Every structure is written in C-alpha cells, then in structure tokens.
Amino acid sequence: MASYAKPRFWAGLAIVCAAALACSGLGRAEEQAPAVIGSFPVASAARLAGDTQLTRFVLDLDKPIQFRAFALPDPDRVVIDIPEVNFRLPTGTGANGRGLIKAFRYGLVMPGASRIVMDLAGPARIANSSMLQGANGQPPRLVLELEQVDRATFMQAVSPDAHPENHQAANAVADAGPTVAVPETVPATKPATSDSRPVVVIDPGHGGVDNGTQSGDEAEKSLVLAFALTLRNRLEQDGKYRVVMTRADDTFIPLNDRVKIARSQSAALFVSIHADALPKHEGDAQGATIYTVSDKATDAEAAQLAETENRADAIGGVDLSDEPTDVADILIDLAQRETRTFSNRFARLLMNEMKTVTRMHKHPLKSAGFRVLKAPDVPSVLVELGYVSNKGDLAHLVSESWRERTAAAMAEAIDAFLAKREANAAPAD
C-alpha cells in the first residue's frame, strides 16, 4: 500500500462493512435532485399481515425494483436495501406493528439509496422475499415473509459470514434453503454511478433529538447544518467533486452511520462540522480548531471534547454494543496509519486557508478519539468552527457572510488536498 490508490481489498471491506449498517438514523432526508425527481419509483402503500408465526410485509410500487434483505441483531431488525424510492405512504405508516414486526421505518439513506428497517418483536428469519410484477389490477409489490425461529438460528443467520455481501457465504445460505434473497444487483448502499469525481462527505454534527451544544436560542445542530449547506453549495458550484451530506436536514444520524456513509461511498475526504462551547466557570475561549483522530488526546480539553461529541449516540438512543467488529484489527491498523498521515496533511492545509479568513484557536491543530473520525480508509477531520459560548464566535456562526467566506477557504484547502492526492494516485494494481 505504497500509494494512496485504494487496493481492491479495501473496496471489498467497505462492502462487507455496509452489511452491518446500523439503521436507527433513518429520517426524512428529502433531498433529491429536482431534475430526476420524477424518475424514482414511487411507493404508495405498505402493509403487514399474518401472526407471530409468519408475518408478511408488502410494499406497493409503481414499478418493480431490485432489493436486498438481511437481518441484524441487537436490537433485532430486518433491513431491506432498495434504490432511491419516493415514499408516498400515509402518515403513520409503520408506527404500529403486527406479528413478528414491532414497527418499521423507511427513508433515504443517501442519494440513490433508500432503506426500510423493521424492528422485530422476536427472532425471525426471512423465509421468502420476492418482487412481484403488477398483474390483475395489482401494482408491482415487494413482498417479504418473516418466519419465527429460535435465537440460535437467528444468530447463525446474522453472523458476518451469512451476510449477502459475502458472496460465497450467501450462496451457501441459498443452497441450504430459501433464506436470503440475493438479487443480482449492486449493493444499494453504494449507488451505481458513472460519476468518477472524488467524493467529499460533509458531516454536520448532531441533529434531530441531539441538539449538540447550546447558547441561548442557538443550537449547535442548526448552526453547523447552515454552515455545511453553505460549504456543499460552494463545492457543487465548482463541480469538481461529488458532495454527499450525512444529513441535509434536522435528522439524527448515529456516529457509526456517518462513518459508514463515508466508507460506502469510497470518499476521498470526510469533513465533520461542529461548534464548541466552554462552561462559564472555565473562562472564555475563541476561534476555530481542527481535529484529527488519535488514541492519545493532545490535551485534556481535546479529550473532554471528544468525550462530549461521542456522547451523541447515547443521546439519540443508539445502543453502542451495535458496533460491528468485522475487520481484523491489524488490517485496520495498517490502513489507519496511512490514512492518518493524509488526515494530518489536510488538517494543516485547512488551518492555513482558514486562518486567512477567520480567527483560529490558540492551538488550532489537535487530536483526540472522535468516533466519527475512525474510518480506517477515509482521510477525516472534525472542524470546531468556534465557541458558541463566545460572543464574537457566535456572531460569526450566525453570519451568512462569515459562512460564505469560511466555506470558500475550506473549499480552497479541499482543492489543494485533492489535487495533490489525484496527482499522486498510482494506477490501480
């Protein structure tokens, strides 16, 4: 791994990882390119039938779609990954369960990919799954049948080896019986695209039930979203990159899912946007700080901040035991070391650009154990734009012209970083 060109191994790894996607972050991300809005399949109704032995889920569509279904434990769920679908379901759909399904949620997980998540009332396996063509006045339907099983059987079915992404294992499962549907399709979490531009993932911190830090009426989640959208628009204007937002509205996204979005998109860069606050008794602090990941925090304040930011999942009710451990640690370690070098390089470029347009913290480059920066193969930084507890910083954060200026400086740094990366990337082996 002398060059930064990703070996095939890492591409495979990203796909395996996508199988373990935790799904509690589903929201109402309604961001769609207006030009293509009409071309997405439309889901018009969803219903449940059956009992605790056998429960059937039916989704009515206006055209057949490809899908991929699999189960996840702790909490027990069944997930259906589908291409981007325009959900026009009546309000309250999925709130009430039936049989083996306690409730279900649905939504866009990223451009090009939607997902349905069912919370299970008990261990179940996917006994049948099919896409029925429309006939006899019935619309095309996605049908999934869940069958009650004991916990041991359930756990066996959800072991990493049984994930449909692992082709051999998936075939083995298919041979043993109609357990898991393995449609011939690109995994939905990585939308098929002919767009070869580098992907920049912008990650506005917090969202939904998690406000982040707060000063008077100003919640961190809203301030950082406003900034992130400015940065997105800026980058899209230039057109050099494909920009993916981990959230583009007030939605809660678990930390792990943010990392997974970056990995599943094979992102060239991940930029998390936050704003800090200092408790009154700790005096005043001001200016922007750029963080990279490290097992050892640079100082006590950095360690404390990482701890606070990592608490987001607990606030959103995400079970931390859900962490996938699907990659050998030593391999993560190797890639991580290389990736950290790139992250540090970008952090320095970013500081040099940002300091020309805004004030920086007296120690502007720091590191600590931020969970959101832990993708082993995506250079990642977390920017604390300033302190909402500081009057001057807060005035910046709510100012549109400051946002424009600072986003432009960030775009410069992203250009410098990715221009060099592209130039250095050797052809794939």
Where does this chain bind Zn ion (CB under 5 A)?
205, 212, 274, 309
CB of 214 to Zn ion, least distance (A): 11
Smaller CB distance to Zn ion: residue 56 or 274?
274
242 or 258: CB nearest Zn ion = 258
Distances (CA, A) of 384 to 29, 306, 370, 387: 24, 11, 12, 8
Please give the distance of CA 412 from its chain centroid, rounded to a whole number: 25
Residue 83 burial (10 A CB sphere; 0-12, 13-18, 19+): middle
Give the number of other Cβ atoms within 10 Å of residue 171's Cβ. Answer: 12
DSSP conformational letter for 112: T
Kindly state the smallest distance separating residue 277's Cβ from Zn ion, in Å: 9
Whether cis (ω within 30° of 0) applies to the bond prior to 7 is no
The answer to whether 46 and 292 have CB atoms below 8 angstroms apart is no
Closer residue to Zn ion, CB minimum distance, 48 or 225: 225
In the numeric block, which tokens belong to residue 176?
């043993």
- Residue 46 forms beta bridges with which residues? 59
Maximum alpha-carbon separation in the chain: 72
Given a contact cutoff of 8 angstroms between Cβ atoms, the answer to whether 182 and 164 are in contact is yes
Nearer to Zn ion, 139 or 212 (CB): 212
3-state SS class at 201: strand
For Zn ion, the closer CB: 141 or 206: 206
Q: Which two tokens stand for residue 61?
A: 């569509």
Would you say 114 and 107 are in contact if contact means Cβ atoms under 8 Å apart?
Answer: yes
Between 105 and 396, name the residue whose CB sits nearer to Zn ion: 396
The CB density around residue 63, as the number of other CB atoms within 10 Å, is 12
236 or 307: CB nearest Zn ion: 307
- Compute the least distance from the CB of residue 289 to Zn ion, in Å: 12
Q: Least distance (Å) from Zn ion to the CB of residue 382?
A: 8
> What values do phi and psi take at 407, rounded to 5?
-65, -35
Residue closer to Zn ion, measured from CB, 139 or 205 = 205
**Cα separation, 72 vs 160, whole angstroms:** 10
- Beta bridge pairs of residue 146: 55, 126
Distance from C-alpha of 382 to C-alpha of 373, rounded to nearest angstrom: 7
Q: How far apart are the first and last CA of the chain?
A: 10
Q: 98 - beta bridge partners? A: 101
User: 386 — phi, psi (to 5°)?
Assistant: 165, -175
Nearer to Zn ion, 382 or 407 (CB): 382
Please, which residue, 41 or 212, has the CB nearer to Zn ion?
212
CA atoms of 136 and 316, how far apart (whole Å): 45
